[in-house]
Amino acid sequence: MSHQPLNLDAHPLEIIERDFQGLYSGNLGLSSIKGGQTAANSALNNLDITRYADDRSEVLPREKRGATVLSPYIRHNILTL
């Protein structure tokens, strides 16, 4: 069986639909969280921790959200605790 390298020139959603059929369920969408060390460092530098304890569970309205959005970076070991 011959494997061809992925063509990553297409839009990410196009790549998923083309190359990963049957490996996902639900509606496709792109995350609002950018990946990589630069994005993680930026998220950490822009973190305002002053109201975190009071607001971390707020979801709506969006401007009151208190989550740090650092979890993906911590989970994938881009940022460490």
Q: Report pLDDT digits (tens) over 31-53.
A: 889 999 999 999 999 988 888 88
Q: Indicate whether 26 belongs to any domain.
A: no
> What are the C-alpha distances in Å from 80 to residues 40, 41, 62?
11, 11, 27
Q: Indicate whether 48 belongs to any domain.
A: yes
pLDDT value for 61: 86
Q: Indicate whether 27 belongs to any domain.
A: no
pLDDT value for 1: 56
CA atoms within 13 A on the CB side of 30: 8
Parent domain of 57:
33-81
Number of folded domains in the chain?
A: 1
Side chain identity, residue 13: L
What secondary structure letter does DSSP report for 40? H
pLDDT top residue among 54 and 74? 74
Q: Indicate whether 37 belongs to any domain.
A: yes
- Return d(Cα 24, Cα 20) in angstroms, integer: 7
Are 6 and 19 in contact, with CB atoms under 8 Å apart?
A: yes
Q: Indicate whether 2 belongs to any domain.
A: no
pLDDT top residue among 78 and 49? 78
Q: Indicate whether 15 belongs to any domain.
A: no
